[in-house]
């Protein structure tokens, strides 16, 4: 009886305190209502890890810590103790945990059966072990408990378990286990949330081994079960919990849950206040960047970071190397390729419950294009296509490298050295321009080359004196040359001669060449040109064969007496080409005796001829061969 009296006294005192606390909360709520017409951001309250449960063993219960707990998370333990006959005066407790509510419920003849529910919470500080062992009433003969954890809670801006504002994690002064009944449904009193996005959590205890289902409220509606755990048989105990985010403020309505059978039960709801980010971070990546810097570092000029964030603003993206900086505008990106484009993302990691912030900018870069037209072209292709060999294009440019220049037709090519120009005339010269259209922030690039084209060289003419052919030894020959045509580059008209098929020697037009002692003389002219594809012209040549002068010997037979008229001269010709001819005169050649108009008489036979002069005297005798080469000799009269 003494133990029961103590319980009644404690319960009455507790109820008085609760009423006072509720009055204080009402006043505070009215004063705080205006806080929610701001641009503050509420964190998302989420369950941390998975709920854990444990069974009472002796006078304690050990429950594992939910996984992933970090400092600032809120853990809530819901524990039920069970006994027959004896009172359960002591709530479950553990240093570092704060009791939200604890109370005993009885039933049976003389209130023989008793259960005691305790709801506690703890704000994680990072020093927790892997499990928690709670002390229980020494009379407890059985029971079960569960722990659930949440992140994103404002652990100081809400109410604590005693109803004091700005000192705990609860959005509204926590209630108590209520509506004790023997039936198959939990009915937790409604609570009224003060801020949006509060986490509404309903807890239930049952004095029998029962399962839970159909957790719900009016607002936010259906609740998601966190755990349902039992201990013992039909005479055992059960605990359960479910939750949901309530997007708006106001009443939840009654919280309900179904049991699979009637049982002695009580339930309550609490609401965790969502943490508020009063100065959310803002990432400003800045305007898009288009730059012609090649593989040089690109500064993120124009970027800003503001609000509440932790660590260094971080840039990401692209194929290259980032160098971060506490001032995001001073961070740099060094591309690994000469040109490209990507979306760069600036990320701020929100401090505390503040969300992360990101923003993007497009970075496009290139390398200044360089047009190389190549060396000048001089070619003897006439109107055939000329290939732009030696040209190149580098850097960042758009489209096809473009050649331009008048006087013909261009065929462009992605490789500028394969482009062609087909002249519209047989010869000419232009300045050809190669243009690259810069892109990715790069300017255009141009370069030029001179293209000079013409026809193949042609030799000039030769006018020989005498006419080409055979000439007599000792005579002079010459030729008058004219310039050739065609060719490009360095042009030269070559004029040269040679004796007897020997070495060619430079020749001056119209100069006499003497044939004495030679067998042949050649004079030729041709044109050379240094342009690409130019070949020397086919030489024009005049040639003379040098015929040797015929030689002869003679013998005479004088007259036997003056006036006899029987003298004669015998001539023997050699070295010439038969037939031979002779002529003679008595006055040194002024008047030839007999023969043709020039006095020539053909040898009667071969190389020997007998002359019978008409009388005594000195005779001049001359012979020639069939080439017209003549030889003179004299003989006394016969």
What distance in Å separates the CA atoms of residue 310 and residue 247, rounded to the nearest whole number? Answer: 28
pLDDT at 259: 97
- Strand ranges in 303-453 using DSSP code E only, listed in sequence order: 304-306, 309-316, 320-323, 332-335, 340-350, 357-365, 370-372, 377-379, 386-387, 392-394, 397-404, 408-411, 420-423, 428-438, 445-453
Which tokens is 466 given? Answer: 């005498």
What distance in Å separates the CA atoms of residue 275 and residue 246, rounded to the nearest whole number? Answer: 14
Lookup result for tokens 């701020």: 348
CATH code at 462-547? 2.60.40
pLDDT at 565: 67
pLDDT at 411: 97
Which tokens is 63 given? Answer: 């429950």
Report whether CATH 2.60.40.10 matches the domain 279-365: yes
User: What pLDDT, in 10s, does the model give residues 456-502?
Assistant: 999 999 999 999 998 999 899 999 999 999 889 899 999 999 999 99
Q: Which residues pair with residue 345 across a beta bridge?
A: 316, 360
Lookup result for tokens 């490789």: 415
What distance in Å separates the CA atoms of residue 605 and residue 289, rounded to the nearest whole number? Answer: 111
What distance in Å separates the CA atoms of residue 388 and residue 381, rounded to the nearest whole number? Answer: 13
pLDDT at 351: 87
Q: Taking the mean position of all CA atoms in its chain, how far away is CA 139?
A: 76
Residue 496 and residue 460 in contact, taking contact as beta carbons nearer than 8 Å: no
pLDDT at 629: 86
Q: Which residues of the chain have pLDDT under 50?
A: 1-39, 636-638
Lookup result for tokens 């732009």: 388
Residue 594 and residue 601 in contact, taking contact as beta carbons nearer than 8 Å: yes
Structural domain boundaries in the chain: 2-276, 279-365, 370-450, 462-547, 551-635
SS3 266: strand
DSSP string, 279-334: S--EEE--S-EEE--TTS-EE-TT-EEESSEEEEEEEE-SSEEEE--SSGGG-EEE
SS3 397: strand
What distance in Å separates the CA atoms of residue 557 and residue 490, rounded to the nearest whole number? Answer: 72
Q: Burial of 476 by CB count in 10 Å (0-12 exposed, 13-18 middle, 19+ buried)?
A: middle
Which one-letter DSSP state was computed for residue 532? B
What distance in Å separates the CA atoms of residue 182 and residue 483, rounded to the nearest whole number? Answer: 132
User: What pLDDT, in 10s, does the model give residues 63-118?
Assistant: 999 999 999 999 999 999 988 777 778 999 999 999 999 998 887 655 667 889 99
Q: Taking the mean position of all CA atoms in its chain, how far away is CA 570?
A: 108
Residue 281 and residue 354 in contact, taking contact as beta carbons nearer than 8 Å: yes
Task: Give the predicted TM-score (pTM) of the model.
Answer: 0.58
Architecture field, domain 551-635: Sandwich (2.60)
What distance in Å separates the CA atoms of residue 312 and residue 291, rounded to the nearest whole number? Answer: 25
Q: Where are the alpha helices (DSSP H) in 114-244?
A: none
- Asked whether the CA dihedral 287, 290, 293, 297 is positive or negative, the reply is positive
């Amino acid at each position: 009886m003494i133990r029961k009296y103590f319980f009644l006294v404690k319960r009455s005192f507790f109820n008085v305190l609760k009423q006072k606390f509720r009055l204080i909360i009402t006043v505070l709520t009215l004063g705080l209502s205006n806080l929610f017409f701001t641009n503050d951001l509420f964190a998302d309250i989420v369950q941390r890890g998975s709920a854990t449960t444990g069974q009472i063993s002796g006078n304690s219960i050990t429950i594992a810590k939910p996984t992933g707990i970090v400092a600032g998370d809120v853990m809530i333990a819901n524990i039920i103790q069970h006994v027959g006959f004896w009172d359960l005066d002591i709530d479950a407790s553990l240093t570092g945990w704060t009791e939200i509510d604890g109370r005993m419920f009885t039933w049976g003849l003389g209130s023989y059966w008793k259960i005691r529910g305790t709801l506690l919470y703890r704000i994680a500080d990072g020093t927790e072990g892997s499990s928690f062992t709670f002390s229980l009433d020494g009379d407890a003969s059985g029971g079960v408990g569960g722990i659930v954890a949440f992140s994103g809670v404002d652990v100081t801006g809400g109410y604590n378990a005693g109803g004091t504002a700005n000192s705990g994690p609860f959005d509204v002064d926590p209630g108590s286990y209520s509506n004790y009944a023997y039936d198959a449904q939990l009915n937790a009193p409604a609570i009224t949330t003060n801020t949006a996005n509060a986490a509404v959590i309903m807890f239930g205890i049952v004095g029998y081994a029962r399962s839970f289902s159909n957790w719900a409220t009016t607002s936010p509606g259906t609740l998601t079960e966190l755990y349902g755990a039992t201990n013992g048989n039909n005479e055992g105990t059960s605990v359960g919990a479910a939750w949901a985010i309530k997007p708006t403020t106001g009443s939840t309505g009654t919280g309900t849950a179904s049991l699979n059978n009637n049982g002695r039960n009580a339930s309550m709801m609490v609401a965790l206040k969502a943490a508020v980010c009063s100065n959310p971070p803002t990432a400003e990546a800045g305007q898009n960047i288009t730059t012609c810097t090649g593989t040089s570092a690109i500064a993120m000029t124009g970027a800003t970071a503001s609000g509440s964030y932790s660590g260094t603003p971080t840039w990401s993206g692209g194929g290259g190397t980032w160098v971060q900086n506490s001032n995001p505008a001073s961070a740099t990106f060094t591309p690994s390729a000469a040109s490209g484009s990507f979306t760069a993302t600036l990320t701020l990691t929100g401090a505390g419950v503040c969300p992360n912030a990101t923003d993007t900018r497009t970075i496009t870069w290139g390398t200044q294009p360089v047009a190389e037209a190549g060396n000048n072209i001089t070619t003897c292709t006439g109107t055939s296509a000329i290939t732009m060999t030696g040209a190149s294009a580098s850097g960042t440019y758009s489209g096809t490298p473009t050649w331009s220049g008048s006087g013909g037709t261009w065929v462009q090519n992605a490789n500028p050295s394969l482009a062609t120009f087909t002249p519209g005339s047989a010869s000419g010269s232009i300045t050809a321009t190669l243009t690259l259209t810069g892109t990715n922030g790069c300017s255009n690039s141009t370069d030029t080359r001179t293209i000079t084209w013409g026809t193949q060289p042609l030799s000039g003419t030769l006018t020989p004196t005498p006419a080409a052919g055979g000439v007599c030894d000792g005579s002079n020959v010459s030729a008058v040359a004219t310039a050739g045509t065609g060719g490009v580059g360095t042009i030269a008209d070559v004029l040269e001669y040679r004796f007897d098929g020997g070495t060619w020697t430079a020749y001056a037009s119209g100069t006499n060449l003497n044939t004495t002692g030679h067998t042949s003389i050649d004079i030729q002219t041709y044109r050379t040109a240094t342009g690409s594809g130019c070949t020397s012209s086919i030489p024009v040549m005049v040639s003379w064969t040098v015929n040797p002068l015929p030689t002869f010997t003679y013998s005479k037979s004088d007259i036997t007496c003056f006036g006899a008229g029987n003298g004669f001269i015998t001539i023997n010709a050699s070295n010439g080409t038969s037939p031979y001819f002779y002529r003679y005169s008595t006055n040194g050649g002024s008047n030839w005796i007999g023969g043709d108009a020039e006095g020539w008489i053909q040898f009667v036979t071969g190389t020997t001829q007998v002359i019978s002069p008409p009388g005594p005297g000195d005779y001049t005798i001359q012979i020639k061969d069939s080439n017209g080469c003549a030889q003179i000799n004299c003989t006394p009269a016969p």
